[in-house]
Structure 1
Amino acid sequence: MSLHLIERMVAEDEGEGDAVVCIHGLGGSANTFGPLMPALQRHRVLRPDLPGSARSQRAEGALTIQRYVDAVQAFCGRAGIVRAHVLGHSMGTIVAQHLAVQNPKLVRSLALFGPLMAPPEPARNAMRARATKARGGVATMHEIVDQLTQVAVSSETRQQHPLAVAFVRESLMRQEPEAYARSCEALAGAEPAAVDRIACPVLLVTGDEDGVAPPQNVRAMAEKIAGARVLVLPRCGHWTPVEKPEDCQRALREFLASVRS
């Protein structure tokens, strides 16, 4: 594995084969896709920490979806990646959609976990309120983490998979408060991409207990994208790769195999 550092943004680069670029969500990091790596053993996998998140938290200035798109494109350029399968989770799925619309030659396929086109207005207001709360520091971040742990994963995950819950808590707890606040504001300002222009193969994966990307919304999103496939995982919340890693690995293997064929 090699580590890239470009303009205070960090990315892990490992493996050989067809390129895969992974884009995490709010409160996530490159590690969000760790549970999917067994399905990507024959690929070259680029996993950046987006500006403002995890090891890239020192990024300065306002954060926006477009800034994320530009950062991912810049990283691909520096890494010599001209065509890639793109994986996204949560907010990262919005970035991936814009990337596919703006640079269709780069995006070979999209596999989106917990996908959404943009937050509804109530969620935007909640994101702005969360940004304000995050700026209170470590104590208020602790409150945010406790709340999200209760609502972002399924009841089965909370009861039977403590390691998955611990992963989600750790991912959120390691975010720097001010950088996390700016990431919240980026999501609050997100606008939908023109998904009807996406021409590559698309897989949409959500959980039946995902309140951010509920199945009915994901199916409605799929209707806007020609040929998009939808998979709803039972007893699963919003952190699909972490809560249901084997199911997500299986779906990803089958999807990538179909794209290659």
Structure 2
Amino acid sequence: MREGTMTIIEDTWVKIEGLNIHLYMAGDEGETVVLLHGGGTDSAWLSWQPAILALSTRFRVIAPDLPGYGKSDTPRIQYTLQYYIDFLKRLLDQLGIERATLAGVSMGGGISIGFTLANPQRVHRLVPVDSYGIQRQYPGGLWGYYLVRLDWLNRFSWWLLARSRALTRASLQQIFHDPNALSETLVNEVYEEIRRPEAGLAFRSFQRHEVLRNGVRTNYLDRLNEIRAETLFIHGENDRLVPLACAREAHDRMPGSRLEVIPSCGHWPQREKPEEFNRILLEFLGAAKS
């Protein structure tokens, strides 16, 4: 159990199809908001700690460690986007949640969009944050493709990160716009996560499935107009991994959606600009129709 200011965050577990799944739960009033973290070495706590505290005074908040991440089990399977979409459905079923608001960052955003398209009746509001699934190209171009496809090179890069806090810090600076916003505490938390024995296994599998020589496997742009849930895109102005132009196009293709751009911010706005991010999210959830 973790304690925040006036908030107790429950550190708990559920078992889903034989897997031990770790999640954080906070708040017991209002609608349910499910927070989905990204890929790489991310976890529910790394991505969503400030947001859990901010949201839990008005909402029931659930933030799972997805399979292969954080404290959850890491089965030896193919970690595809569809796997995570199906997992989210099983999680909501297990928790008895018929309908929820979904907020997801990066890979978690792609999961939330895909889940909404597959299960429209179960999503109240949708908040993709610097989301995967709205871009045509993978970051890094041809170099990024070979880094993923040459498994030994991909594994070696993870091996290096796990042995160098300085390299871990440098990698985080690529997703932050302002290096001064990157606290030593956060660097330590990420470095601890990346030193897990199975760190990177799930994300490498996800990359192998998603990254193609000429782009990415999953691109939801042509289907966004099917979504009827109230939707807010939140995006860092200076995101190097998913450029702002991707979010602008997604917003343009989705009538009735909103786009909030956080200035001087990279790919991880809920950690780089937590106060501004939480204000935007709370305003949307408070103003959206119930």
What TM-score bracket applies, with the shorter chain setting the length? Answer: 0.7 to 0.9
CA RMSD after TM alignment:
2.5
Q: Is 2:159 the partner of 1:139?
A: yes
Written as runs of structure 1 = structure 2, the 5 A alignment for 1:1-261 is 1=10, 2-6=12-16, 7-8=18-19, 9-17=21-29, 18-27=31-40, 28-31=42-45, 32-41=47-56, 42-123=58-139, 126=144, 129-130=147-148, 132=151, 133-136=153-156, 139-142=159-162, 145=168, 148-154=171-177, 156=178, 158-162=179-183, 163-174=185-196, 176-188=199-211, 190-193=217-220, 194-260=223-289
Relative to its length, the structure with more helix (as a share) is 1
% identity of equivalent residues:
26
Structure 1 stretches of at least 4 aligned residues deviating more than 6 Å after TM superposition? none
- Cα 1:220–1:181 change in 2 (3 A) is same
Greater relative contact order: 1 or 2 (C-alpha under 8 angstroms, separation 6 or more)? 1
- TM-score, scaled relative to structure 1: 0.88
Q: Measure the CA separation in 1 of the matches of 2:209 and 2:38.
A: 11
Q: Measure the CA separation in 2 of the matches of 1:205 and 1:169.
A: 26
- TM-score, scaled relative to structure 2: 0.80
Q: Measure the CA separation in 2 of the matches of 1:118 and 1:171.
A: 27
Q: Measure the CA separation in 2 of the matches of 1:54 and 1:171.
A: 7
Q: What is the DSSP-based 3-state SS (H/G/I as helix, E as strand, rest coil) of the residue aligned with 2:254? A: coil
Residues 134 and 247 in structure 2, CA contact (< 8 A), matched pair in contact too: no
The Cα shift of 1:160 comes to 4.3
The 10-residue stretch of structure 1 (2-11 or 121-130) with the greater mean CA deviation from structure 2:
121-130
Deviations 1:36-68 (A, max 9, x none): 123312222121112222223522210100000
Residues 57 and 179 in structure 1, CA contact (< 8 A), matched pair in contact too: no
Residues 145 and 169 in structure 1, CA contact (< 8 A), matched pair in contact too: yes
- Cα 1:109–1:213 change in 2 (3 A) is same
Query: Equivalent residue for 2:7?
Result: none
Q: What is the DSSP-based 3-state SS (H/G/I as helix, E as strand, rest coil) of the residue aligned with 1:3? A: strand
The Cα shift of 1:14 comes to 2.9
Q: Which runs of 5+ in 2 are unaligned?
A: 1-9
The Cα shift of 1:237 comes to 0.6
Please tell me whether Structure 1 or Structure 2 has the larger radius of gyration of its CA atoms.
2
The Cα shift of 1:180 comes to 3.3
Q: Measure the CA separation in 1 of the matches of 2:192 and 2:217.
A: 25
Q: What is the DSSP-based 3-state SS (H/G/I as helix, E as strand, rest coil) of the residue aligned with 2:33? A: strand
- Cα 1:172–1:208 change in 2 (3 A) is farther
